[in-house]
């Protein structure tokens, strides 16, 4: 038996799978992998406390604590540990969530022996992988703008990979200039704006390879400024839309009746509980009286007739040859 070089822990609630993988990968590695198995996250944490583990391979769909949550726990408690996901059902959303929670590798279980060989090779690569030169750590309260600015000022070439639970994107920086952005189904400035507007997530600076196309042009300062401006405008529009929707909801909840008719009495819009003809008659009478009052006392153009009721108020007016009656219940603002 050769000496075990690597310790690998598999976490999966399928005990048969764990037994199979232990035998299979033990044999394939020539026993150079010391394979531990855990059917539950708490057992996995016990092993991690007791043993030196190089790589944890996690299933996603598990009861109580799923693999994504467990990756989050690992990221906090064992940040230097290599982490891979091996799941029966992988979706783009789960992939993004796993990467956001610190997974180094995301793979789907295979129904064939060849597939398990590929997985073994990929896990072996991950075990061999050593971090590149430089520092690794966690920076809190750093914006993507800060990172881009840093890369551009240093005239670096890199790919800024950004991901959270919902979005995966890349920003290409070539010799200190932003040349391409893609993500969230968008391209160019719209992708850049979308990625920079993310409230949170993770990023990684990957080695630069030329993009298939260049979707950004202009100075990086201007592109960042445009993105910031678009973000401000978007926030303002959202706020305006919220206010308008709230006003509309408030109006709708208090609207008792509305009627629009021509000066000849033909109804154009009718939302009244009953007796529309009486309301048409009221509006026509209002128009005639307004003209009469205007002659008796010249106070300028007639604007409207307000009627204060015990349970609400009504506005009757004439505009562009149309007569309008709106009645609202009490509680609606005077505007």
Residues binding another protein (CB under 8 A): 257, 272-275, 278-279, 281-282, 285-286, 289-290, 292-294, 296-297, 299-311, 314, 327
Helix axes 144-153, 188-196, angle to 10 degrees: 120
Cβ proximity to another protein: between 248 and 278 the closer is: 278
CB of 300 vs another protein, minimal distance in Å: 3
CA distance 84 to 80: 13
Strands 168-174 and 177-183: antiparallel
- 31 torsion bin: left (phi>0), alpha (psi -120 to 50), beta (else): left
Residue 310 CB, shortest distance to another protein, in Å, is 5
- Minimum Å gap between C-beta 290 and another protein is 7
Identify which of residues 173 and 290 has a Cβ nearer to another protein in the complex: 290
Which token pair is 169?
Answer: 């994107």
CB-based contact 6:33 (threshold 8 Å)? yes
The encoded tokens of residue 320 equal 């562009």
Cβ closest to another protein, residue 115 vs residue 294: 294
- Using the structure block, give the residue that is written with the tokens 């390879």: 209
User: In which residue are the tokens 């408690």 written?
Assistant: 77
Residue number, 222 or 268, with CB nearest to another protein: 268
CB of 147 to another protein, least distance (A): 58
Smaller CB separation from another protein, 131 or 298:
298
Beta pairing partners, 313: 308, 328
Q: How far is the CB of 242 from another protein (least distance, A)?
A: 31
């Amino acid at each position: 038996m050769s000496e075990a070089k690597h310790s690998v822990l598999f976490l999966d609630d399928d005990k048969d799978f764990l037994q199979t993988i232990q035998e299979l990968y033990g044999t394939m590695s020539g026993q150079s992998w010391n394979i531990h198995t855990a059917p539950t996250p708490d057992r996995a944490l016990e092993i991690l406390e007791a043993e030196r583990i190089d790589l944890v391979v996690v299933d996603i769909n598990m009861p109580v604590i799923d693999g994504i949550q467990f990756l989050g726990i690992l990221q906090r408690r064992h940040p230097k540990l290599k982490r891979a996901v091996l799941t029966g059902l992988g979706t783009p959303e789960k992939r993004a969530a796993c990467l956001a929670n610190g997974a180094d590798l995301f793979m789907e279980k295979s129904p064939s022996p060849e597939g398990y060989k590929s997985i073994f090779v990929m896990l072996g690569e991950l075990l061999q992988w050593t971090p590149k030169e430089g520092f690794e750590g966690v920076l809190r309260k750093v914006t993507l703008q800060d990172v881009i600015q840093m890369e551009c000022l240093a005239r670096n070439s890199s790919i800024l990979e950004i991901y959270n639970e919902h979005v995966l994107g890349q920003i290409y920086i070539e010799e200190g200039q932003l040349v391409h952005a893609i993500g969230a189904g968008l391209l160019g400035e719209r992708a850049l704006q979308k990625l920079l507007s993310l409230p949170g997530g993770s990023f990684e600076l990957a080695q630069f390879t030329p993009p298939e196309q260049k979707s950004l042009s202009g100075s990086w300062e201007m592109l960042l400024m445009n993105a910031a401006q678009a973000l401000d405008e978007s926030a303002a529009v959202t706020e305006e839309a919220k206010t308008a929707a709230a006003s509309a909801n408030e109006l709708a909840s208090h609207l008792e009746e509305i009627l629009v008719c021509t000066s000849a009495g033909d109804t154009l819009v009718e939302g009244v509980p009953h007796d529309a003809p009486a309301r048409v008659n009221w509006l026509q009478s209002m128009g005639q009286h307004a003209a009469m009052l205007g002659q008796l006392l010249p106070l300028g153009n007639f604007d409207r007739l307000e009627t204060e009721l015990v349970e609400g108020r009504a506005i009757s007016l004439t505009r562009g040859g149309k007569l309008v009656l709106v009645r609202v219940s009490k509680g609606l603002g005077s505007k």
